[in-house]
Every structure is written in C-alpha cells, then in structure tokens.
Structure 1
Amino acid sequence: MDKALINEVMDSGKRVVRRGRTSLEDVHQMLRDGSCSVLSLDIFDTVLWRRVPRPTDLFAVLGRRLVSEGAIPSWVDAATFRRMRIVAEADSRERRGDLGPEVSLFDIWREMPTAIMLRGDIDFYVEAEIAEEYRTLVPDLDIAAIIDTAHAHSIPIILVSDTYFLQEHLDRFLDQPGLEPLKSARFFRSHEHGVDKADGLWKIVVKALGVLPGQIVHIGDNKRPDVTVPGKLGVRTVHFTRIGERYEPILRRERSPLEPFGPCAPRLDLTQGDFGITSLRAKLIEDAQLDEVAPDVACAWRYGASVLGPVLTGFAEWAARRAHEEGTSVLWCPMREGEMLSTLINNAALRHGLDVTAKPVWLSRHLTSVAALGVVDQDSIHTFMRRRHGMTIGGLLGILQLRPGDVPALSARLGTVLDNGIIADDVATALTESPALRNRIATTATATRERLLAHLRSVGALESGEITLVDLGWGATIQSQLATALELAGIEIKPAGLYLATDTRSTKVALRGLRLEGYLGSAGEPAEIVGPLVRSPEVLEQGVSSLCGSLLDFTPEGEPILAPIAGSASQIHARAALHEGVHSFQNEWLRYASEFSDWPAFDGGEVVQLGNILASSIISPIADEAAVFGAWEHEDNFGSDLVSHVVPADLLPAVPYLSPGDLGDLLMRDSFWPQVLAATDPKLAAAAEAVNSGAVPAEVFEPDVTDAETVLRYRTGDGKWHDGPKVPLRINRNGLSFARLNFEAFDATDISLAIPGCPALVRVDWIEATVTSGGHRLPEPLRWEHPGDFSGLVYAESTWLGGNLVEFHAPHSALWLPLAARAGAPVSTAAVTIAFAVLPQSLSGLQHRPPSGPRLARLTARAKEEYRAGGPLALAAGVARIVTRAGGPPPPPKEDDDDDDK
C-alpha cells in the first residue's frame, strides 16, 4: 500500500464527508442579508422531533404508562392501544362531515371507548397525552440555530402547522432550551382555521401577513404541504427531509419497532421510546453531503453513522458505566480495534462524569497464543496449528523460530498447507519427538511472552494489579490466552473482559473463573443477535480497526511490529469513511446530550434495539453495502499471510443456483458473509429475507422428495470408501440446485457424488473442486462442465444420457470424479461445488427411461480417463473390464471396487 495514500487517509484533520445542509446555510445567509421578510417554520419533525421511531409510536409509550397508572385496563397492551388511538383519530375526522376534517385532541379522545377510560374524565387523558408528547419532544439544534439568526436580525417568525393541538399545547411544547424567540412568533394552526396546509391554509397565511409570497421563506418536512403547495403560491421553500431515500431501506430492513424482524427475532420493547436513535440517524444521513464523494465512500459513511455508530456509542457508554461500577479506573482496548473503542469510551466517560480512562494496548490472538504455550507436547502443538487457517509448515516453523534444518523430517514439505488433521498430527509428532525441539519451542514461547510483558509494562497495563480488556469479543480468546501467559510468568493478575458480544466458546473462559461480560449478548445468547454477528463479523471488525497492519511481534523493548496494510486504495478510503460515520453519530449524540439535561442515557433498555440494528444489517444488507463490503479483503490475522475476499469470486457464478437454505449451509471458509453474496441477486435476497422473516417457510425451496440429500463419499489410497459430507437437496425459484461439500482426508483418490439423493434426471451444469494435493493448494480448481468431461466418468447405478445429462436410478446412485488423477497426486482437502437442475422421478422405477449416451463416445472417454490415471497398463486393464461387462447390466456399487463402469 502506498504510504502517502495511507497518511492522507489517516490525517485526522481531513474529513471524508462534509456535514451540514447547504439549504440551511443559504437560509442563514438570507436572514443575515435581509433578502427575506418572514421566516416560516413547520413545527413537528422540523422545529421539534420525537424520541420515537414513528410519530404514532408515541401512543404505545402512552398506553404503557396509562396501564401502569391504572388509567386503562391491563389487557390493553401497548400495540393495541396504539392502533386504537390511530383509528380513533381517523373516525373523528370522518365523523366531522361538512364541518371539515380538522379536529382537536378532545374530539379524538371522545372516539375512544369509555369502557377503557377508568378515570372517566377526558381532560385527564388529554393531559396525559400532552405530557407524554412533551417528554419525547426534542428541539432540532440546526433549526434552533436558524431561529437564533432570524431573531438576531429582527426577522419575524411564524409557525404553520397541521395539528390537532391547541395553542396552549403548542406553547408548552415549544418551551424548550434554544427556542425562546418563538414565544413572540405568530401561529397558523389547521385546527384553528379549519383547513390544512395542502388545502387552503397557505392562502390564509399569505393574506394575513400582508407581504408578497416571495418574501416568505418556509422550512418544513412534508413534501406537498410544506414545499409543493406554498411553492405554487410563490413562497420560497426548503424541504427539511427527515427520512429520505438513503435512510428508508435501513428502516425497512430493521422493521417496525413494534413488529419483530421475524419469528426468531426479539420483540423490541420501545414503550419507553427509542432514545432518539431513529431520528438522530435520519438527521445525520440527511445532513451529510454524500453526493460529493464516491459511492463506496458514501455507502461506508452511511453504514458507520446509521449502524455501527449507535451500536458502538451504546457499547462505549455501557463499558464506561460497568468499569465505574466495578471500581476500575483504566480499561485496556486491544489493537487494532483499541484506538476507536478507547476514544468512544473516553468520550462517554467524560459526558457522564465517570472516573474511567480507556487506553489502547497491542494484543492479538496470534501473539498471545505463542506466549501462552506452556506445556509443549503433541496435543498442544496440534491445537496451536489447527487454529490457523491456511498456515503452511514453513510458516509454522517461522512462528516457532525454527529453521528447516532443525526439523529434517519437515524440510522437504515447507509449502504443505496444514489444513488436515492427519497432516497436523504428523507435524506435531515431528516437532515434539526430541527434547531439543521441545526446548527450542518452549524457549520461543518464553521469549515471546517476555516481549509481550515488556509491552504491557511500557504502557502501564501491569501497574494496578488488574487488567480489564474491552474488545468486540466472540470467544474471549485473547483474554484466555493472556491469562495463561500471565500465569506462566508468575504474575497474579486475572484479566477481565467487557465485550460487545460473546459466543458459546466464551463459556470455557468463564469456567476458568475469568470475569467476562457481553453487551449485546453473552455465550451465544440471544441467538438471533449473536448468531448473525459471530457468523459474519467482517464489516464490524474492519469498521472498528485502525488503518494499520496486524500485529506480528514485539521488539525486545515491547514496541509493536506490524504487517503491511491489506486492502485496495478504495477499501482504505471506504474504511476511513466508515470510521468517520461512527464518530459522527457519537458526536451528534453527545451534542444533544450536552444541550438537554433530560437527554436519556443508555441504561440497558437500548440493547435489544441496537442488537436488531446490527443483526438486521448483517442478515439483510442493502445492495450497495453488498457491493462495497463484499469486495473488501479479509486478513486471517492469526499467524498467516492469508488474505481473501469477503465474497469469494468462485461462488459468484453459483448465485443463480442458490436457495435461502444454501446460504445457511455455507461454512465460514466458503463465504465470510453469505447474505452479501445473496444481495448480488435481488430475487435471492428477497427470498432469503422472506424465509428469515417467517413470511415463507423454508420448505418452499425443498423438493417434494423425502430426505433427499446430495451426498459425497471419498476413496483413499487403500481402496476403502469413507462417508463424507451431505447437504439437503433444494430447488430454488429458478428451478436450479446447488451443493457445496467440504471434506478432508490424507490421501483421497476419488469421490462419488450422489447428486440428487433420489431417482431423478439431472442436468449437471458444472462441478468444481478446489483441492489441496501433495501439500499444496492447486492454483486453479478442477472443473467438469463439457460433454467430454462427463462422458468419461464412472457411473454407479446411474446412466450418462449424453452431454451433461445423467439419470440417477436410486437414492445412492452416484457419479465418480477421479480427483487424484486430475490433480496429479492424492488430495488432502477439497471444496466441491455442484451446480445442477434436477427433475425427481418415482421411487418405483416404473417411469420411462431415456436412452443412454453414445456408446462409442463413452468408451473413448473412459479410455482417456484410464490412460490419464495410470498410463498404458491401466488403459489395458480398463479395456478388459469394459469388454467383460459389455453384455450385462451395471453391478451394484462395492466399497472396495475401483471401477463400476458399464
């Protein structure tokens, strides 16, 4: 990566996205230079906005309070009361008839059933609603600044509102900090004049003011009554958009706060409001000058401001509060996430007056795992290796500071990938079979531990006798390994951990007696939040990590040694924008908190809402998010230099074949973020969303065949067959099917694929196998897609019909792929992908069978395969088998039979 580019992006004095609405800046100038005579303002969602997601959600808050006060029966829950209040208003307007649709709040409450009004007095309920409105209303600080400018330049202010509130109610609502100039403002209320803004109120306003329409500047949020209608009269208008096209898709995927995301989603209890999260995010997104930057930068900034910003702001406040409650004065945030997390926590602690300071510290899974190596035996070395995906023997020796000549048994296999348990066992045996090697490894672990401790001492982490880590979490691996390293060093400190969320692996850490807590979830619960987050954490991890390389080691003095930064220039810019979006949300949150003494603090009630915001962004990424984040590079960061893409290129051609259930079957190594893969096809994304939400059962994408599965078996060098993975057979909206099957073996030579797992006609569009053979991953996958590729295969109780068509006669019918022959050596691991179309047939076998493919083409292709696999002798033996079997039916498959050709 170009250092100049990195320095430019990391320059804290530069902002990626400008903030502030140009239209409001223009209004300030017009007020200062006297180019308008009257400032006109809408009230709700302009001068004031509510700390609830939708205006009508206020009724849910009110309903819960009335139940708690015994003013309405307990059977009227919040959602029911909300709907009743909405319908009562509609009925009241309809009942007015020739008197016009404008009603008062008293009129609306007269439509509510008296049976639920246990207090009997309508005045009580009207006052209760007014009080609840006041509690949730917040002045918009940017509009308040406009009001100050108008007041400073003696520009008259009017308020024009479609409302059922009386003047005394509005006066009460507007009695807020920063809105003092409005006490002398003139009001035009729809209820007062019997007509709303869209149907005549504006004509009344212009006539009453006695000025030319062009001398009025009006700011409002509703397009027709605040912009279109007054604009036709000549009034100059500013559309103060509250929720625009950039924000609507985000709210849609999060669903209504009173309607859960799906059957497994948490029910969001927002009967105390939403802390202003919805409106504050809307304000941020609409204020941002996103049209001035590249689309990927705009997308990343928006994700930071609308998703990660609120989540991490809540997390920071929780961490600061928990530290204060436990008497912990310093929190340690492991890098690379530590820089952002410590800044957010320090901002939160300062806001709440807490004596808590957060500091970054350099720690990593990789370095702490080396430092935690105490007992050097075969099991510990095997575990050490298997935690690292893509590690080679040479890379392992480098980590353990061993030269190839130190381990002669491994010196010829330095490029072998340790992706197989059997290979890992053999390597662990070679590394631990002599006392000298065990001592060398122990010495390396001790030296690494000392360098780690030198760093902890240099930053002051060992001074207080306690270490509390704050990190994103998942398995609490760093905390556990650090605890072991400190114990081996004789330091009596048990690290604690405060995490965004932890999965089930953290249970083992808790069983060690180490304190750890999760904010959004702990030990994998609630699964509907923690599950998606732990399954696909890439954008969150990169969205929090500093723009620097991963930790490789420490100098003897404890200074961190970092790897180069991964990612393209566009990825670096987008990550910087995402970081900026996060800080923008917290800054806006703290700006309002500092202005209003009753601004709500996160107290735990926000957790489910924030969890839903984050989880829904992972489950249902918007198309532009999928395009941006799917192209990002992912670093392994665990001792290897493995870098891959969030969405692997090899799966993109398979998208038309995928069903929603297939996304769930994909392993982490198949795709780090399956939903981003789905988002590349709007129809697949919609189908996945429908299944996730419970609108459509998953069985819609399953064939009407009992227990049909695609099954893989593999044969090893000793001629024995072994059971491999299997996945359910599905037929998607395109009538297509997909299977991804991963297996590992020491010396696999062939695999059999029972593709449909039932009697069926199958069109096999392509089969691809990404394999590790001879200790090395082949640079290109093995592929079968042309008629010639299929004509030479072995078919067990199945028939090649020509081209890429195959008839499978029974559930166990299969075709065989000669992996070793194609790869040039036995295979240790493979990921096999099959894209196909299936037409299930009757289990009775009574249906008409189509003729098999041309026999000459079949024999020629089989001969080529025999020759490729074993040369002239194998070719001769194969011809003999073919001749012997030419006159009879295909024999049943046998585990030790090396050929079942017909």
Structure 2
Amino acid sequence: MTKQESGCPLLDNVHRVIADRTCSVLSLDIFDTVLWRRVPRPTDTFALLGSRLRDAGLCPPWVTDATMRRMRIGAEKAARRGRDALGTEVSLFDIWRAMPDGVFGAAPLEQLVEAELRLEREITVVDLDVAEVVKAARKQDIQVVLVSDTYFTEDQLALLLDRPELGPMEDVRIFRSNQHGTDKASGLWEIVLRDLGRSPEQIVHVGDHETADHEVPAELGIRTVHYHRLDEPYLEVLKREKEPVRPFGDHAPDLDERDGDFGLTSLRAKAVHSGVPFTTSALDVAWRYGAGVLGPVLTGFAEWAAMKAHEAGTRRLWCSMREGELLSRMINAAARAHGWDVEARPVWLSRFVTSLAGLDAHDTDAVHAFIRTGYRLTVRQALSVLELQPGDVPGLATELDTVIDNGDIADRVARALTETPHLCNRIAVTVTAARERMIRSLRDAGALDAATLAEGELTLVDLGWGGTIQRLLARALDIARLDVRVSGLYLATDDRAEKVYLAGLRAEGYLAQAGHPAHVAATVTRSPEIVEQCVNALCGSLIGFTDDGKPVLAETSDSPSQNAERRTVQDGVLAFQGTWNRYAEASGGAWPDLARPRAARDRLARILVAALEAPTADEASVFGNWTHEDNFGSSQVTTLLPADLKPAVPYLSPGDLDDLDMRDSFWPALLAASDTGLGAMARAIAEGAIAPEAFEPSGEPQETRLRYRTSDDRWHEPIRRRVRINHNGLSFARLAFEHHDTVDISLAIPGRPAIVRVDWIEAKVIAGGRRREHVLRWDKPEDFVGLHYADCRYLGGNLMEFDTPYAAVWLPLARAAGVPAVSSGQITIAFAMLPQSMTGMAPRMPVDRKAERSARAARLTERLREEYRSAGVKGVASGAGRVARRKIGDTR
C-alpha cells in the first residue's frame, strides 16, 4: 500500500509542469479550487445566512434557515431570468434586488450584500495544496490567473482572496463571468485566450467542474487538470449520511452557526484523494473507509480525549491495547496540534486479563459468569484458563470435552470448582499471580507512577461500550490495596456502563454516554466489530503476562490480505487526521474544533451510524471476509459476513436483521449490503420511505413459536420470533434454546392459519457424549413425511397446512442426532406462506392421500422402532394392540 502523507496526487503533474517550465500561465478556478467552503453544499451558506440575519434583527423569526436558503436560491434564479438580452450573468447586488420587498425591513441593499460577503469570508478556506501550486508558479515566474463563474465583483473577490496563504494578489489577473457577461462553458475561455495573448497549450488550468473547467477548455487546446472532490464512491457515502426528515420539510443537514459542517465534507474528500492509486480495489475501499469514515470520527475522538486531559491537568493518558497503538498516536498528534502538555501511551490490558485478575475464587456465581464469558468453551478449555489440569477436578473427568453451552453445565462446573476448598485455593493462587503479573506490567509501563497520575487517577482511553476493563481493573487494584482511581474516556458507552457508574468510577463518552443518544449508542454497540478490527494493532489479543510482566498474546487467524486491508484503513485514518491538523495549524487558532461543539459530535456520529447502518456493496465485499476471533480461551473464529446466513439472505426482511443475535451476525447491515433487494428495502425503511409494518402479514402481528420438550415429557415455554414476508414473498425465522435435556421441539411456523412451503429447516445442536455440534437438515419431501403434525397437515412435497396459531410440526432432534438428548440448539427456517382466514372458515387445501398414507406409515414405522428399542418384542406387540384398538374405536 502506498499513500502520500501530505499534498495531493491530483496536482503532482501540475508541479512537474511548473518545475519543468513547460507552461507559461497557471490558470485556476476560484471556488472549490483555490477556495472551498466549510459547508457540504455551496447553497448551505444561505442557511447559515438566515441565522446571522435573524440575530442581527434584519429578518423576522419566521424566516428559518431552510426558508432563507430557498429564498436565496429562488432570488438568484429570478435575477438571471430577468436579464433578458443582457444574458444570465448577474452580480450579488442583482440577486438581492430580486429578494421580496418588506421581508428584510428597512435594511439597505448594501448592508444585506455585506452580510453575505462577510459570511463567505468566514466560511471560505484556502486550499493549501493549491496554495503550494501558486507558490511554486511564482517561484518559476509563471503568470497566475483566476477564471471563475461568479456573481462577486472584483472588490468582493479581492476581500475573499486576501489571505496570507496565497500571498500578494495584485499581479494576478481575474476573469469573472459577470464581468464579461458569459460563463466558462459559453465563451469566457475565448476571452481569456484573447486577452492573455497566449496559445492554448501554454496554459495549464486547474478546476473542479467537469464541463466548465475540463471539457470546454480542453477542446480549445488548454491543458487541464480536473481537480475533482466528489467522485461517485464518495458521493454514495455522503448520500447515506443525509439527516432524517425534519418538520416543515427542512431536509438540510445540521450546520453549526459559525463553522458550517466544520469543513468535514471537503476535508474528507481531500483525504480520500490523498492516496495514490492502489494495487487492488479492496485496498482502495479500505483506504476510503479509513480516510472518509473512521478518520474524521477518530480525529474528533482523539481531540476530545486530549482536550479532556488538558482541562483536567492530566498529563498522561493510557490507551488499552489492542486499540491503544493507533489511539495513542492520534491523541499525541491532536495534543501537538493544539499545544497541550498531554501524552498518550499504549498499555497492555484486556477484558480477559482484568476479568481473571479481579475474580473471586470463592464466589460460585462469579466463577459461573467468568467461564460463560468465553463463547462455547469446553470444560477442558475452562480449566486451562484457570490453570487447572483435568486430573485436578475428578468430578469433571467425564465431561472434559463437554461444551459449556448452557447454564446447567456452567453451574456444574462452577460448583465443582468452588465447593472444594483446595480447588478454591488453587484458583485463588492463580488469580493472585495473574493480578500481580498485570500490576507489574502496569508499573513497568509507568501507569502506576505517582508522577503521572493526576491526583491519584489513572485515565484509560478506549473505544468503550461497557467500560468492563476500567471496572475490573479498578477492582483488581482495590484488591491489591493500591490507592489508584481508574477513569475512562470512550468513543461511546451503552447502558452496560451502569456497573461502572455504580462503582463510583468516572466514565465519559464522546459520541454517546450511558446509552444516550439512544440511536447512536444502540447502532455503534450493536455492530462494533468493524470499528474494533479497523483500530486494532496487527497482533493477537492479550491473554496474560509472563512473570516479568511481558504480554502474552494469542495467535491470530488474520490472513495477509486482511492485515493489508486493516493497515490501509489505519493509514487512511491517519491521512485524514494529518489533513485536519494541517489546516488547524495553518489557521492560526481560528480553525473549528471537533471536541466541544455538540453539532460536531452529532455530525461525526451520523457519519459512523450511517456507515454501520448502510454499508456499500463494495464495503460488504471487503469487510465481509474479515474474521473475528472470540479469544477468552476459545478457538472460535467467524467471519463478519457469516457463511451460514448467506443462503438465508433471499428470505430475510429488514426486521429479521434486527432480530439476529450478536452471535448470528456481528454486523447485520453487512448482510443487507450483500443483496441488492434487501439493501434497498433496509434503506427505504431507514429513510422513512416504507414503514416496517409493510413486511408484516395483514392483521395482528404473528410469531413463529418454538417449544422444546425434555426427557421428563415436559414442554417448556415458547421462544418467539416475529413473522414477516419480504420483498421476495419469502419468510425467515431463527430461534435458539438452551436446556441440557432437550429431546424434541415443536415449531408453529406461521403462527396463524396458513399454507406454508418449507424450503428448509436447519438445526445446529450441541449433543452427544463429547458435546460436539451436529447439523441437522430437513429440505426434501422424504424428510417431512415422517414428522408429527399437531393441528396441521402434511400436503405433500414441502407443503404444510396450519389450522390454528398454535398448530406445529415436531422435530425429533435427539433421535435425528442419534443421542439421548441435546443441550442447546439453533433452529433456522426458510419458508413461504399463504395466510388463511383466522376464523378457520376458508376451504382447506386438498390433501395428497398418497403422501398422507406415506406419512402415516412412516410415523408408524418410526414409532415401532422406538418401542422395540425401549421394550423389545413385547413393546412392539403392545403398540400394535393399541393401533388395532384405535382402528375399531376402542379407546381403553
């Protein structure tokens, strides 16, 4: 991967032409080339103007920002139409003369024009890369001219261009469209060539407009550089970030009254284009994600963390690994840009090591919670995490390979470990040693030095979510009788941080705190994996320390391509921060900050939330292949786009994505982005174009219900999922259960009277003596023939008719897996349904009698096999007798 730390590759050729003196004139467009505005669109300036005029008492309160924007746009159109034979070119005075009489009171025309001009001066910024080109041209005595389609007069442009970055402008000729009565696309270029007296090939022109700055002058022979900012991929990103519709039809984005959008739209574009061409499209996607999405968000976060430390007098911040490597680098860059005496350093901490260091070995519930934190650990792995050998716990000898997939198994393990005093002592020794090794590592890093602690407070910086590391570290330090308070600065925290606050610890969030704003917190913490993966250092997670306090890292399963893409994302992040800080330093302290204004944080939150809610198809194709390691003693590795859900995508509706558990999909929106139709439906709901209820069957909401039966013949309370019908007319349900003694399940698939086509049912169950995973599947007519149907009928093929909301088909999970019982399971159903009358009065589907007889025979055969297995020949005879009695009506 290659990139450019500063400057712009789009202008490299211009620098070479100037250095070689192969041109005699450097021509530049003004707006969006020499100058750019700190607003998303030029017309957003008019919205800010409305606020300024109201504050100055120059317009009434009913002229809102959006109203002012529409009035100003309309007035310019009217002024251009009113020129008749004079052409369409107008001045700013002409535009304000077209504004409605009486709205702006007795304010003179000059005052209103001056107000707009002052605002333009405030929000326009010199493009530093173009300024470097101007400086290079002057050094080579190459003439500089400006060619612009503009309604500003010469004096007004002089005010806007009077900037130290550009140097003296007296010798710079300016060709204005309103001066010559024609724009660049309609004749201004011919005037430029005539007045300069130069041949076209002697001129190099730089501008942003495809037609006016590139196509038209190129046809005349002028050498052009298309200094484009908003290419199609970036426009797609901006489109997904549009704000929710507000009252009175105001669709404009939130703008700070002084700083617009803080220059984010333009600087993101500059950062995106600051990378030179990549060797693969995947690396280009990764760069754009870093420079255009995570870069601004993390730049704001780093600036806020540095500011918080500066204001609190905290000279040292500690960034927990693996995120700490990148975050500390960014915080230090932010502190240098602002001249703050703050330094951030990475420190080795993780959820696993702090959980172990603070574990109470005598508390059964605490041990239970600890071993369940890992995902599907085996008993053997749980013992290994606690540094116990299988022989140390004879009571668990027969269950070493049992997967801890439900609370019953976790209870047995926790009791076995805590009910025996010598095992409690062994675990306590392990915990104490782990805590001492962690504390030694902190001391060696300097994190516990009194000189670096602000009034005894150690401040951690992390992405956040629940503040678990902070809380557990504070507990471990308290157990060790170290008088150190632990505080935390986070990108976002959700309601899980309640435990941190109840422990009396300070924890602050940049984009969201304690679950508020709710939508921001919920979105970021529902799909945090991509943010974590992008920020993490390229190493395994921390699983412990050596006796001398050195970190012990788990192995990583990242592929070389994933590592290259992650590194490219991080390079893009740093490119944006470098661009941002470059402008901040050049402004002499006048640059807006991202730390304090609520509007800045809201804008950055929208960037991140939109990226998580609506990833592009290109992002899905790259990030979907990234792997996630569970760690915490587990060897589980999954991809961000789960392989087992790919066949289910045609059956999913947007609401089904919301129902998926974290373990089903770390990033549900990535599934939507992988399918054109599903992605379009998800976007339509997010934008308010379609109500979520559009995918619900008519009438009352219906639910797929799963009940499971244990070996004591008890049916347990149902687990429910909403039934939806997606844009393909298909439906999906995924339900999970946990019980160590499950035999059968029943599925009320439609949750209402309906004819259902079941395309497939898949059950992933943990079962057997070694508690391994079994994958069971029903997708062929012969699979459905022998099932038991309660208040429903098998119609043949893969069709079933359900008569009531509780009608259900039974799946014999234990028998299908060849085991006495299963301990947990995940059931996935892909189906299509034709809802029927809830009254039961609708005509029923004709039954395939042959299929019905086959189904009855298959059930009878299976029942006879069961009776033979359980009671031998006598059992078969007894069962046959019951069948005969039923046929003659004897129900004894």
- The TM-score bracket by the shorter chain reads over 0.9
- CA shift for structure 1 position 109: 1.1
- The equivalent position to 1:578 in structure 2, one of 564, 569, 573, is 569
SS in 1 for 2:740: strand
Map of 1:314 onto structure 2: 300
* 1:389–1:636 Cα contact (<8 Å) kept: yes
Output the CA distance in 1 between the equivalents of 2:658 and 2:38: 36
* 2:287–2:572 Cα contact (<8 Å) kept: yes
Matched, 1:697 2:684: no
Map of 2:387 onto structure 1: 401
* Closer/same/farther in 2, CA of residues 245 and 67 from structure 1, 3 Å limit: same
- The equivalent position to 2:824 in structure 1, one of 814, 825, 829, is 829
Output the CA distance in 2 between the equivalents of 1:338 and 1:663: 32
* Closer/same/farther in 2, CA of residues 142 and 691 from structure 1, 3 Å limit: same
- CA shift for structure 1 position 878: 6.4
Output the CA distance in 2 between the equivalents of 1:532 and 1:262: 27
Matched, 1:50 2:37: yes
* Closer/same/farther in 2, CA of residues 260 and 298 from structure 1, 3 Å limit: farther
- The equivalent position to 2:124 in structure 1, one of 127, 130, 137, is 137
- CA shift for structure 1 position 261: 13
* Closer/same/farther in 2, CA of residues 475 and 282 from structure 1, 3 Å limit: same
Map of 1:424 onto structure 2: 410
Matched, 1:242 2:229: yes
* Closer/same/farther in 2, CA of residues 321 and 18 from structure 1, 3 Å limit: closer
- The equivalent position to 2:558 in structure 1, one of 553, 567, 578, is 567
- CA shift for structure 1 position 716: 0.5
* Closer/same/farther in 2, CA of residues 536 and 787 from structure 1, 3 Å limit: same
Output the CA distance in 1 between the equivalents of 2:307 and 2:889: 79
Question: Mapping of 1:283-432 within 5 angstroms?
Answer: 283-290=270-277, 292-374=278-360, 376-432=362-418
* 2:458–2:485 Cα contact (<8 Å) kept: yes
- The equivalent position to 1:637 in structure 2, one of 612, 631, 640, is 631
SS in 1 for 2:525: helix
- The equivalent position to 1:503 in structure 2, one of 468, 487, 494, is 494
- Render the CA deviation track for 1:170-220: whole Å, top value 9, x for unaligned: 111111122125431111111001111111111111121222222221111
- CA shift for structure 1 position 66: 1.8
Matched, 1:24 2:11: yes
Matched, 1:737 2:731: yes
Map of 1:548 onto structure 2: 539
- The equivalent position to 1:709 in structure 2, one of 698, 703, 712, is 703
Matched, 1:557 2:548: yes
Output the CA distance in 2 between the equivalents of 1:624 and 1:325: 42
- Render the CA deviation track for 1:338-387: whole Å, top value 9, x for unaligned: 11111101111111111111111100111101110135221111111222
Normalising by structure 1, we get a TM-score of 0.94
Matched, 1:212 2:217: no
Output the CA distance in 2 between the equivalents of 1:778 and 1:114: 80
- The equivalent position to 2:52 in structure 1, one of 62, 65, 70, is 65
Output the CA distance in 2 between the equivalents of 1:773 and 1:568: 32
Output the CA distance in 2 between the equivalents of 1:266 and 1:821: 61
The residue type paired with residue 849 of structure 1 is: R
Map of 1:842 onto structure 2: 837
Matched, 1:803 2:797: yes
* 2:27–2:204 Cα contact (<8 Å) kept: yes
- Render the CA deviation track for 1:65-103: whole Å, top value 9, x for unaligned: 222222222222212211221111112112222221111
Map of 1:855 onto structure 2: 852
Map of 2:586 onto structure 1: 595
Question: Mapping of 1:868-879 within 5 angstroms?
Answer: 872=869, 876=876
Output the CA distance in 1 between the equivalents of 2:247 and 2:493: 22
- CA shift for structure 1 position 232: 1.4
* 1:171–1:183 Cα contact (<8 Å) kept: no
- Render the CA deviation track for 1:632-659: whole Å, top value 9, x for unaligned: 1111233322221112111110111011
- The equivalent position to 1:179 in structure 2, one of 149, 162, 166, is 166
- The equivalent position to 1:473 in structure 2, one of 464, 468, 473, is 464
Stretch of structure 1 that moved more, 137-146 or 861-870:
861-870
Stretch of structure 1 that moved more, 153-162 or 25-34:
25-34
SS in 1 for 2:729: coil
- The equivalent position to 2:527 in structure 1, one of 536, 541, 549, is 536
SS in 2 for 1:333: strand
Output the CA distance in 2 between the equivalents of 1:511 and 1:861: 60
Map of 1:454 onto structure 2: 440
SS in 2 for 1:484: helix
* 2:361–2:424 Cα contact (<8 Å) kept: no
Output the CA distance in 1 between the equivalents of 2:733 and 2:99: 57
* 2:254–2:261 Cα contact (<8 Å) kept: no
Map of 1:520 onto structure 2: 511
* Closer/same/farther in 2, CA of residues 557 and 34 from structure 1, 3 Å limit: same
Stretch of structure 1 that moved more, 775-784 or 486-495:
775-784
* Closer/same/farther in 2, CA of residues 355 and 792 from structure 1, 3 Å limit: same
- CA shift for structure 1 position 811: 0.6
SS in 2 for 1:781: strand
- CA shift for structure 1 position 420: 0.4
Map of 1:11 onto structure 2: none
* 1:16–1:577 Cα contact (<8 Å) kept: no
SS in 2 for 1:177: coil
* Closer/same/farther in 2, CA of residues 135 and 865 from structure 1, 3 Å limit: farther
Matched, 1:621 2:615: yes
Q: Identity across aligned pairs (percent)?
A: 53
Normalising by structure 2, we get a TM-score of 0.95
* 2:6–2:578 Cα contact (<8 Å) kept: no
RMSD (CA atoms): 2.2
Map of 2:65 onto structure 1: 78
- The equivalent position to 2:751 in structure 1, one of 744, 751, 757, is 757
Output the CA distance in 1 between the equivalents of 2:248 and 2:71: 24
Output the CA distance in 2 between the equivalents of 1:503 and 1:415: 35
- The equivalent position to 1:685 in structure 2, one of 643, 668, 679, is 679
* 2:494–2:525 Cα contact (<8 Å) kept: yes
Output the CA distance in 2 between the equivalents of 1:671 and 1:324: 40
The residue type paired with residue 49 of structure 1 is: W
Output the CA distance in 2 between the equivalents of 1:579 and 1:132: 36
SS in 2 for 1:396: helix
Unaligned runs of 5+ in 1: 1-13, 892-902
* 1:243–1:286 Cα contact (<8 Å) kept: no
Output the CA distance in 2 between the equivalents of 1:753 and 1:884: 30
Matched, 1:198 2:185: yes
Output the CA distance in 2 between the equivalents of 1:237 and 1:267: 33
- Render the CA deviation track for 1:662-687: whole Å, top value 9, x for unaligned: 01011101111000011111110110
Unaligned runs of 5+ in 2: 451-455
- CA shift for structure 1 position 22: 4.8
Output the CA distance in 1 between the equivalents of 2:866 and 2:392: 37
* Closer/same/farther in 2, CA of residues 870 and 244 from structure 1, 3 Å limit: farther
Stretch of structure 1 that moved more, 615-624 or 459-468:
459-468
* Closer/same/farther in 2, CA of residues 867 and 119 from structure 1, 3 Å limit: farther
- CA shift for structure 1 position 880: 5.9
* Closer/same/farther in 2, CA of residues 711 and 776 from structure 1, 3 Å limit: farther
Output the CA distance in 2 between the equivalents of 1:580 and 1:167: 42
Output the CA distance in 2 between the equivalents of 1:323 and 1:846: 71
